[in-house]
Amino acid sequence: MAKDSAWHPLDKTAGKEYRSPQDEDGSAGDVGCLGRLPRLDGKGTFLYVAGIHSIGANGVIHFLENNLAELYREVRTRRFSTLISCRCDPKTPEVLESRRVTPLYRHEG
């Protein structure tokens, strides 16, 4: 896939694009999105997990498994979004490490 045709998130606040390593150089890893967003019916929020590729969603889950208590201390039940980068085993779908690559953007209101 050509670099310009690959889907990628854009951090408008920082003015930075985040591209999947799979699309850039074929290395094992991805970028995922994590957020607590408002439900469409206005009755609360839901946890949003997605990746540029499917392994990116696994990276977000890996991040949550290892950082849930810290994340909760920072946002409690407020709405937020952030991007997570992950590195994977090139032979299996196992996520080896994950980290936040953007700040926690809080969505009040």
For 15-50, the pLDDT digits (tens) are 999 999 999 898 999 999 999 999 999 999 999 999
Annotate 37-86 with DSSP letters as a single string.
Answer: EE-TTSS-EEEEEEESSHHHHHHHHHHHHHHHHHHHHHHTTS-EEEEEEE
Output the pLDDT for position 2. 43
**Distance, CA of 2 to CA of 64 (rounded, Å):** 31
Q: What angle do CA 45, 80, 11 make, to 5 degrees?
A: 130
Q: Is the Cα torsion angle 52, 56, 58, 60 positive or negative in sign?
A: negative
Going by pLDDT thresholds of 50, 70 and 90, the confidence category of residue 5 is low
CA distance 13 to 19: 17
pTM for the complete prediction? 0.90
Tell me if 83 sits within 8 A of 31, measured CB to CB. Answer: yes
Residue 84 CB coordination number (10 Å): 26
Mean of the per-residue pLDDT values of the chain:
93
